[in-house]
Structures are given as C-alpha cells and as structure tokens.
Structure 1
C-alpha cells in the first residue's frame, strides 16, 4: 500500500510539473530524427474535419490537456477506484495480522479497527474482549518460535487449530478466518461478473434468473464439475419428471 501511494503521488507530480520536461525530450527526439516539430502556439486542427466548426485550441493545449492530462487522469481514476480510502484502510489493517519478521507489523489499534468493519460479527462486548485477547495473543505468539517460522496467515490459522489456541483466542481466530475469506469472496464475485458476459449471450437474452444462476455456477466451478459423471446427472434429470423414454 505504501508503493501504491508512491505511484499515485508520482502521477500527480507528472501531471503538475513534468510536461515541460517531456516536451523538451520530444523536441530533442524530433530534431535528431528530422521530424517536423509543430509550433505549439499555432491552432490545432484535426485532419479530415471542418476547420470552421473546430474549437480554437492551440497545439500546446491539445497535447498538454487533451492528451497528456487525459491519460494521467485516467490512470489516477483507476488507482483511486481500485484503492479508495475504505479499501486502503482495510488492506492496511489486514497487513497488521501478518506474522513476518516475528509479527513486526502487529498493530493492536488497526486490528481493532478491522474488527469494527464487521459489526455483525463483532459487537461492542466482542470489541472489548478482542483488545484483551490481542495483548495475550501477541505475547504468546512471540514466546513460541514455531509460530514465527510459519509463512502466511493461512498457516497461522491452521497452527492455532492444531495447538488448540483457537479456543483461547476465539475472537482473534474469527478475525483471521474473515481475512482469509475476503480475497476469495472478492475474486469469486469478479469471476461471476466476467462469466456473465460469456454465459448470457445475445441469443440467450430471455434466460431466467435461476437458469442463469445454475449455468454460471457450472461455468465458474468447472474444475469441480469436470469430475462428475454425466450418467448420474441424466438419471436425476429423468427422475424429476416422468418421461416417455429413457434419456
């Protein structure tokens, strides 16, 4: 997330202060390769379009505002849409549960903030108890070397179950499971939207919701359905309703 913030700041810097340097580099390139350099103060006209109806814009305005700024603004908007304030805070709080470098990223305040993002799973009393559990949890984790040598939050959750500490730190374990489920749930939603364009084609525009849901399930979980034989499916479909002949 720190690198994301650096990228966003660099894009802002390029937008505000770097166009002059870029223009100088382009002019030097054109001079070295005998390319005609347009006068930045002349009016810009699009080839093939009427000059009477064209806006009176200079070449400098066209290349700077309509091209350079537009590209950088598009990139900034994509960064801000992907990493808005809520997503950034969520990812930073999730990183505090990392066990790398002997739990160097542990931050009790941010972990409590992460739990507050799940009000249905952590009520007011759970938040208070979580703060107490976190103090005992981090002290316990740093005392035992088998936890600091693990890789990834998934292995940490498994080790908590294996050692029975998931019962002692029940709220911490619940938070770990929520963090593990979140990327999978997000990826599943994105895969579903991608599959929708493939399953519901223009020829299937009248497809009902249930049929669409069933078709998308089979398409998304194709690895699971690849091991299911067709014979049990045909037999189940036949038993759903009496038919004149066996399929």
Structure 2
C-alpha cells in the first residue's frame, strides 16, 4: 500500500535531469529528462510587430511538437489536441506568472518588438509531458541570450554582445493523476493509461498558483485539490531549485 508499480511513493517524482545550452543555434535551450520522458526546448528571438491591444509589449509564442519517434502513438502532421494542450499549459504558466517582462522587449511602441518563440520538442514519451516541458521551458528561458541593439533613424542596428532575457518569475508545473481515488505525483505512461483524471498546478516563485489544468473524464473533490496543492507547492520548490541557481 502506498507504493506504485515502479516502486515510487505516491508523492515521489522520477529522477529529474536538466541540461542547458544543448542547441547551438538557439538563443536558449534546455533538455529535461523525467525518468524516461525526455523533452527539448529551444528559444528563438526575432523582431516583429506587437499586438494592437498591447503595443508596448513583446510577444510570447509557445509551440509543442510530439515527434513521431518519441512514441508509437504520435503521428506526423498538424498539431493534435495533445500538443495543443501541452503548448497551452506551458504558455499559460509563463504568461500568467509574468515570467518574462514583456514591456522590456519593446523596441518601438506600435512598430517593433522582440518576439520570443518557445518551441517544445518531445523526444521520448513515458508520461507527464507537462511537468517536463514546463521545467525545460523555464531552464531554457533562464539561459537565453538576447542580442544588443540600438535604434537609429527608425532602423534597428544589432550591436556586439548579448544580454539575458528579462526574467522576473519562475513558474513550475506539478501534475497529479487520480487512480483508484488516490492521487499520484508525476504519472508515468502506464499510470496515465489507467488514470481517471489528471490535474496540473503551476506555481510562481512566491508559491502562488498561477495556472490550473484538468484532464481526463474523472473528477477531483475539493479536499483532493487542497491536499494536492499542499504537496505540489513543496514539489514545485524542489524542482525550481534544479534550474534557478541562486
């Protein structure tokens, strides 16, 4: 009792490994292994136009690709609902925690801003893509280098040297699966296949919840959600220490 098929306790994560700077051509990158689940995140920065309703803010865009070699269940082609959900949950954590100071990415209001592309590639799928992807995204953003620039006569001139992306929050996602009315942290593939429901909580650095995502057809009681939040808060802090070096 209290043990899982892979011998973990109910609130134990699989082994987590984080590598940064793994893609030479990207402005920032990180690879996270969560047990056998493996995710790569690359960051690209381009100059473009802001959205009309926020003319003085840079743009964040998150995409996720479930590469067919990562799992027999992934197919090539346009994004399916799983990759769309994965991108959306990672995006929401970064956006709602205001992890990137988007106002500092404005070059010229209404005309030119930096666009930050966060691309998530799933290399091997063995359960719990959300937590691995969110952690890899945070690690990649923290080691992203932006080029220096100056604006002369309305033109952006690139200058030598780099500066870090303006990061001011550290969102971390923690996912639970509900199996036989018990909640388990970091479900692996076999648990995901039998779970009734899953819930993901994303925590900011000050331990506030900034995003919630529910999946599956089952339900969670209020008590289960409150208990999960207590465990998740502690787990988020542990995961954050792996990527945020004081």
TM-score normalised by L of structure 2: 0.21
The structure whose residues are more often strand, as a share, is 2
TM-score normalised by L of structure 1: 0.20
The structure whose residues are more often helix, as a share, is 1
Higher Rg of the two aligned structures: 1
Structure number with higher relative contact order (C-alpha < 8 Å, ≥ 6 residues apart): 2
